[in-house]
Structure 1
Amino acid sequence: MKIRQLLSNFSYTIFSNFVTLGVSTILILIVPKLIGIKAYGYWQLYMFYTSYAGVLAFGWIDDIYLRFGGWQYDELDKTLFHSQFLMILMSQLVISFFVFIYSLFNSDANMKFIFQMFAICLVLYNMRVFILYVLQDTNRIREYALINSIGRVIYFILAIVILLVGVRKYKPLIIADLIGRTTALFFGIYAIRDIVFLKLSTFYWSFYEAWLNISVGIKLLVANFAGLLIIGVVRYGIQMFWGVSVFGKVSLTLNISNLLMTFISAISLVLYPVLRRMSRQKAKNIYLDIREILMIVLFFGMFLYYPIDYLLPIWLPKYQDSLVYMALLFPMCIYQGKFELLVNTFLKTFRYEKALLNINLISLLISVVVTAFNVFFIHNLTVLMFSIILILWVQSSLGEFYLTKQLNISILGDIFLETVIVISFMLSGWLLTFPQNIAGYGFTFCFYVWIKRRKIGKGINYLKLNIGKQAQ
């Protein structure tokens, strides 16, 4: 059970993420068409807030992910995990209660509703993450994929039914999302039922374990939180200065530009437990080979921009003024994909959480300064959109510089070449029309493949020989 098991895990995660991608794509195309710009803005605001729900676990769950990556499920101390599960659940219920109380003091009825739904969501979200981390760490990828998919499928079915019966409000869509999350949580609880449903007498207050998880996991939590805020600060600035409607329009463009990240996430969640089983030296050697293949996949994925750019303004004419920024934002997948799969995964594998934290904090500081300067002085949405790519470039480059320094390799030339290709894509997309823009980028892409042709072949062969041996 070597390379076959690894490919099986990839197939489960890719299918799961393909389902998520399909649901997200259809909802991205249909919902803004039907519910109106302001309602869509509130729906996106709820989705925006829920992306930060994990912060309210305060690193408790994150360290479980770090410490037990690569373990076998039967090796886990079930009594300890049972106690941790119940303690985390109690903490989330308390926090949810205070969020709900906070919502009652909000004079805006829409914001009050959003915060109340967020209070429910954070419990569902964090308990599901606990389960998913246990499954991912112990390489139970099939169950992971099922739980990851089922909630989105239920949400999708309910959302479509809501829209088909003529409902054009955002609140039922949020309730549908919560029903989907609840369903996924129940499936997750069943998957680890021998942890959740132990006798009550086996529970004990494992405060030392909780403190151990929080004290170490807080670094990863803050690092992840800072990573989310890098784009979140920009989006919050848009909401505060340009309003909910513009926030919704820009969110649509960001969502479309970020679709390719679904597949990157699928690869990274399978790769992490495999890397944890590798020797440090072998993980170092494999970095460059993964990088070569990843960049080809990402740059090839950029061709999705051209049919989307042509068809989407026809389908969503009300959003045409924000869709023009897609040429600037589509390269998000390049830098976020590289950071997620390479920098994030390898830094966690080598336990460089502090370095990850510093990289994300520096990038966040740049994001805050750039956004504040734009909101208070320039007031230019185009400049703010371009700054997103600039900030992500800084984050990705800083991460790679640190990581490759630890690995004693140099990728300065690669980063320069990739930057030239991204700039070429952005300029051709912004200044040229179809088919000149696709021809320009196509020529650049072919040139890149020609330069990298030997390294790509070498990388594929090396991965076949070495990653497969670690799959269990």
Structure 2
Amino acid sequence: MSLIFLICSQVFGLALGLIKSLVLPIFLSIEDFAFWQIYLLYTGYIAVFSFGFNDGLLVRYGKYDFNKLPLNLVGRSIKYFMFFIIALTSFIILISLLIPYNDKTLLFIFITLNIPLVVLNGIFLFLLQSTNQIKKYSVYSVIDKFIVIITIFVFIYLDIKNIYVIIMVDMASRFIQILLMYIEFYKLFKPEGDNKSTRKIISEIQKNISRGSYILITNLIGMLLFGYGLFVIERFMSLKDYSLFSLGISTTNILLLFINAVSIVVFPYLSRLENNQVFSKVTQINFLTTHFSIFICNIYIIIVFILENYLEKYSDLLIFLPFIFLSVVLQIKFNIILYPTIKLLKREKIIFKINLKLLILSIIFTSLSIIYYHSLLYAAITMYIVLYLRNYVLGKLISKDTKDIKKVKYLELLSHIIFITIVLFFENKFYLYTIYSIFILIIDAKKIVLRGKFI
């Protein structure tokens, strides 16, 4: 029931994300939309300022119910940690004010102001996730999106196109989200029970950071595998080029809002299983995820229809969109099964090494694509190849334990080749791929049903 509730809330979040991603580029100029996307890009990486504290909470307390947590210790450690984050934010803003002003200075001040908001928001959401409060997580994770969407429609009605006003609304929505979760977690911050010494609190913070830092760095490198190109495009190409590439990512990234609904519950679900059950479940989830990824590629039809009919000024995006789209599809399997399994096996250091090697590869070829060739197409192809290699290597790592996962790799690769071939070279591209995906589902229908029941 919790999973159904979560999926419903994420479908709602999916709709809100779709509206935000497609309405704003229609409403704003290409340049203003580029500023909005730059804001989203950098705020998306602000979680690095948690230093792994959030991830440490999730891993260390992933088997606890909320009432069984050491509430006083966890609550006071959050307080101390947030005092540090606020002081760090103030220092960064002070430094930025000393740097010569340019057209992006104000933008980066707003981005910096998001640091405590993003970090505290992440702490609360991770606590809900780690204590398996999925229904509450579902509600709180879409509140900020709902507020922003409603405000955007009001702005459209009033013809308010100031990008900084929209950014302030985004920050205000995140603050409201935090305030509501603070009320939910008020029990954590009530001055009751044994008041832990400062030394114990600092030790708790250190344990969380120590346990979560590898996960954080691994996540950061994984995000850079997907987002490094955006940073290079923002620095070396025009705002229009940045708008094109970022719109391609944001429209296709909407898929992940829904996919994360499943990935959120996978780690707590797997961590509560007996050791002899884990790998059979991983095999079944991997099989279902592969078939879901094949079928979900049909959403590409909708995205292309919207771009061709409502966003003509971004039509150049269609040249490289297929590779961006498949890159997001690769994230589906990574988020749902590969990464949760790696965390469960406590192999964060291995995935860190793999991601680091692939990031170096991405930096070399993406930089060449953008700085030397000035080609968004080459950058998109590079991103797809790097993410495919990551999934392939991690799949092999897991297959040492499950032994059956590799059986679906060939089907996934074949489906990607067919998708790209149909999209690039066939006139009736959409009908052909839909027929192919339905054909695959029919062939494996019995297995899909049986493995779905097994989970």
**Coarse TM-score class (shorter-chain normalised):** over 0.9
What does 1:358-369 align with in structure 2 at a 5 Å threshold? 358-369=353-364
Shift in Å, 1:15: 2.5
Secondary structure of the 2:111 match is: helix
Shift in Å, 1:208: 1.4
Once residues 206 and 227 of structure 2 are traced to their aligned partners in structure 1, the CA distance between those partners, rounded to angstroms, is: 29
Please tell me whether the aligned partners of residues 351 and 394 of structure 2 are also in contact (alpha carbons under 8 angstroms): yes
Could you say if the C-alpha distance between residues 311 and 209 of structure 1 is closer, same or farther in structure 2, counting changes exceeding 3 Å? Answer: closer
Please tell me whether the aligned partners of residues 294 and 412 of structure 2 are also in contact (alpha carbons under 8 angstroms): no
Secondary structure of the 2:235 match is: helix
Identity %, equivalent residues = 22
Q: What corresponds to 1:392 in structure 2?
A: 387
Q: What corresponds to 1:272 in structure 2?
A: 267
Shift in Å, 1:200: 11
Secondary structure of the 1:258 match is: helix
Shift in Å, 1:220: 0.4
- For residue 71 of structure 1, what is the amino acid of its counterpart? Y
Once residues 34 and 106 of structure 1 are traced to their aligned partners in structure 2, the CA distance between those partners, rounded to angstroms, is: 32
Q: What corresponds to 1:470 in structure 2?
A: none
User: Residue 285 of structure 2 is aligned with which of 285, 290, 294?
Assistant: 290
- For residue 270 of structure 2, what is the amino acid of its counterpart? L
Please tell me whether the aligned partners of residues 82 and 198 of structure 1 are also in contact (alpha carbons under 8 angstroms): no
CA offsets, 1:352-409, max 9 Å, x none? 221221222122122111112223433322111111111110111111111121x140
Please tell me whether the aligned partners of residues 328 and 430 of structure 1 are also in contact (alpha carbons under 8 angstroms): no
What does 1:105-116 align with in structure 2 at a 5 Å threshold? 105-116=98-109
What does 1:12-91 align with in structure 2 at a 5 Å threshold? 12-91=5-84
Q: What corresponds to 1:136 in structure 2?
A: 129
Once residues 16 and 293 of structure 2 are traced to their aligned partners in structure 1, the CA distance between those partners, rounded to angstroms, is: 21
Please tell me whether the aligned partners of residues 245 and 317 of structure 2 are also in contact (alpha carbons under 8 angstroms): yes
Q: What corresponds to 1:345 in structure 2?
A: 340
Once residues 208 and 57 of structure 1 are traced to their aligned partners in structure 2, the CA distance between those partners, rounded to angstroms, is: 16
Gaps of 5+ in 2: none
Asked whether 1:409 is paired with 2:406, we answer: no
Q: TM-score, normalised by structure 2?
A: 0.95
User: Residue 328 of structure 1 is aligned with which of 306, 323, 337?
Assistant: 323
Once residues 373 and 215 of structure 1 are traced to their aligned partners in structure 2, the CA distance between those partners, rounded to angstroms, is: 36
Once residues 197 and 423 of structure 1 are traced to their aligned partners in structure 2, the CA distance between those partners, rounded to angstroms, is: 57
Structure 1 residue runs of 4 or more that deviate by more than 4 Å after TM superposition: none
Once residues 27 and 277 of structure 2 are traced to their aligned partners in structure 1, the CA distance between those partners, rounded to angstroms, is: 52
User: Residue 419 of structure 1 is aligned with which of 396, 408, 413?
Assistant: 413
Please tell me whether the aligned partners of residues 42 and 170 of structure 1 are also in contact (alpha carbons under 8 angstroms): yes
Q: TM-score, normalised by structure 1?
A: 0.92
Shift in Å, 1:176: 0.7
Once residues 162 and 311 of structure 1 are traced to their aligned partners in structure 2, the CA distance between those partners, rounded to angstroms, is: 22
Could you say if the C-alpha distance between residues 311 and 115 of structure 1 is closer, same or farther in structure 2, counting changes exceeding 3 Å? Answer: closer
Q: What corresponds to 1:4 in structure 2?
A: none
CA offsets, 1:189-245, max 9 Å, x none? 011110023359936421111221212211001001101111221111111221222
Once residues 402 and 21 of structure 2 are traced to their aligned partners in structure 1, the CA distance between those partners, rounded to angstroms, is: 43
Please tell me whether the aligned partners of residues 298 and 333 of structure 1 are also in contact (alpha carbons under 8 angstroms): no
> Alignment RMSD, CA only?
1.8
Q: What corresponds to 1:468 in structure 2?
A: none
Greater CA deviation, 283-292 or 94-103?
94-103
Could you say if the C-alpha distance between residues 170 and 34 of structure 1 is closer, same or farther in structure 2, counting changes exceeding 3 Å? Answer: same
Gaps of 5+ in 1: 1-7, 464-472
Please tell me whether the aligned partners of residues 17 and 263 of structure 1 are also in contact (alpha carbons under 8 angstroms): yes
- For residue 123 of structure 1, what is the amino acid of its counterpart? P
